[in-house]
A and B are shown apart, each in its own frame.
Chain A
């Protein structure tokens, strides 16, 4: 068997399975471990592997969402870490847990990895909680919330002539229309744009707040082919961070996304699918520019964007349809991989973000074997 077309690493590593919960506004009846466990069972069942057969396990979550220290120690119970397992955790979106696991497989110390992440936003006020993510001396005391900061970015885009409110509304409408085919999405079909949350962003431009979990299994080389009929090979993956202060950045662009994309090889060949972690409609505009996807985002994501080689952008509906904190980035990789698994894509780019106004970004290129 030949490897994937453009791999640049010591080992060929693929996403061989993906599972996610239904993303819901609240899950009061479920603890985090109860939310995660069915997803873990589903993703392992897809490969036939048991938790104890996995070479490395890595998760992503946030104590601030859980409202308690070491919250991830409880969800480890959902894995069943007995006998003891080789395991790690990042206080980041699961996309970065996937990155750590991918590195582990590259060292040769593991051939398979289980990656999962989850977030329950429902117990608190997410807008308030996320203000605690900001510079504690100069920014957090002002309590600017995630919507307000995204609105600053959106206004900068409008001022620069890169978008307008109707274009943003079209992105939101397209995302929810595409999500109609996604049974896990929280917002599906026609959703009214509503009133301004913070000008120029309306309710429809903002992601739903909700709870959810996701999991992925990675495998290397021939093992990947044994576990999955059409593995989604990670032919490139990289992540970059930018200055924290929104005032220190050009908010109409995403330099870190572009650098990560270059290192991941996005521009080496055309992609047919892009799963972008753009919680706000305006952020899709920024990411399209950084990734060279073009387009205003107003056309259907199902592949009919005639001007741009038919790149399907967020065919899952993206983060505008479901944005479980700490999982939504991993879900982008999972959704892109799932399209490759079922033959709907041959080369896809997946993106994850963290921090205010797209401060930190991860980009992965996924490819299927030639058909």
Chain B
């Protein structure tokens, strides 16, 4: 069946910070939306539908907040959808919006994801009360640390690899004006000397807790033709899910992640991701997930991901830059983090990434995951309209 090609023609983000005390939740989302519209040189009247995503409602203490946000997002009289797929939600939300255009249900869609984590405490919001979870499994770090350790054991990766990722991402963030953490005095020694939080994950190897929003305007071929800036074209997009826990689950390299990437590559005609993809924005909330996902996404052979990181391949000037924006390690409004990955990938192929631009990026990947490493959402965007 003949789908409408989907293009990203507008991108807007807030400056991500620990606490946006100066704005309401509505003010936060509207800021990103207005910037996306301005980037596309469109107005609210050009938007046919709004697709919004965020992680658990407990983070702000508002049940189904999209109902209250309809006014601020110009959705009155229009369709509005609310997606929630755990940490992958920012990516899933963009894909749901893209499908509305691809199916020719709507011409131009505003998609937005946010989290205002300063309204609550995300770590405890993610921790179930005893007896449903053991008392020391606090927050996402407690859940993922054993899987990081399993990766280290399985591959024999040296202990320092995690700190290299954190050091790289925090330096990349200095080139991204929207990034939350701007640690101008960061050194590798400081990362390695930071306190151990969830062994083997140190404080400086974890994501911050951020307030922020990210928005994109998606449209079809006709809308792209009117776009004042180069559009980013969606060459492939997919979601995959698997259960949280089951006998035989591979937490280090989940099958759902591998299947999701394979689907995206098939749609985009990618046969050698390492060579054919110019930049990757992957969801790395704890530093070790960079080498883990490099393998899961097919950029490295099994057991070899850490070698790419160690060799500097994933640096901004390496041959496979990973998280040129600074990534989740520098900015983490949880519900928005996936969409920021997708939007940053689009910025790269539009040539609009500013100081953290990968020169000549033609194809970039956005990646998000969530839950117990069980929900995956990915897209691959390109500078040129897809041919197939």
Residues of A at the B interface (CB closer than 8 Å) are 9-11, 57, 62-64, 68-70, 72-74, 76-77, 80-92, 96, 99-100, 103-104, 106-109, 129-130, 132-137, 139-140, 238-245, 248, 255-256, 259, 354-356, 359-360
Residues of B within 8 A of A80 (CB): 243
Within 8 A of A (CB), among B87-140: 92, 96, 99-100, 102-105, 125-126, 128, 132
Interface string of B123-165 (1 = CB under 8 A from A): 0011010001000000000000000000000000000000000
Residues of B at the A interface (CB closer than 8 Å) are 1-3, 24-25, 55-58, 60-71, 75-86, 92, 96, 99-100, 102-105, 125-126, 128, 132, 238-244, 246, 254-256, 259-260, 371-372, 374-375
| Bound form: Cα–Cα A28–B266 in Å | 46
Residues of B within 8 A of A92 (CB): 64, 81-82
| Bound form: Cα–Cα A81–B371 in Å | 14
Residues of A within 8 A of B67 (CB): 133-134, 241, 244, 354-356, 359-360
| Known interface pairs A69-B125, A136-B25, A240-B79; A64-B244 also in contact (CB < 8 Å) | no
Minimum CB distance partner of B79 in chain A = A239
Residues of A within 8 A of B57 (CB): 62-64, 91
| Bound form: Cα–Cα A297–B244 in Å | 47
| Bound form: Cα–Cα A72–B254 in Å | 19
| Bound form: Cα–Cα A259–B78 in Å | 9
Q: Is the interface of B mostly helix, strand, loop or mixed?
A: loop
Q: Write the nearest CB–CB distance from B371 to chain A, whole angstroms.
A: 5
Residues of B within 8 A of A63 (CB): 56-58, 84
Query: 23 A–B contact pairs at CB < 8 A?
Result: A69-B126, A70-B56, A73-B374, A80-B243, A81-B242, A81-B243, A83-B259, A84-B240, A84-B259, A85-B240, A87-B375, A89-B84, A91-B83, A100-B83, A100-B96, A103-B96, A107-B1, A107-B3, A109-B99, A135-B68, A242-B76, A243-B70, A354-B64
Q: Write the nearest CB–CB distance from B24 to chain A, whole angstroms.
A: 6
Minimum CB distance partner of A255 in chain B = B77
Contact A140 B62 (CB under 8 A): yes
| Bound form: Cα–Cα A244–B25 in Å | 14
Q: Write the nearest CB–CB distance from B49 to chain A, whole angstroms.
A: 9
Q: Which of A73, A106, A256, A360 contacts B103 (CB 8 A)?
A: A106
| Bound form: Cα–Cα A104–B3 in Å | 11
Q: Write the nearest CB–CB distance from B40 to chain A, whole angstroms.
A: 22
Q: Which of A73, A84, A136 contacts B62 (CB 8 A)?
A: A136
Minimum CB distance partner of A239 in chain B = B79
| Known interface pairs A241-B75, A243-B71, A244-B71; A69-B81 also in contact (CB < 8 Å) | no
Among A80, A91, A135, A259, max chain B CB count under 10 A is at A91
Residues of A within 8 A of B83 (CB): 88-91, 100
Contact B240 A90 (CB under 8 A): no
Contact B3 A132 (CB under 8 A): no
Contact B70 A88 (CB under 8 A): no
Q: Which of B63, B71, B103, B126 contacts A10 (CB 8 A)?
A: B103
| Known interface pairs A70-B56, A99-B81; A134-B103 also in contact (CB < 8 Å) | no
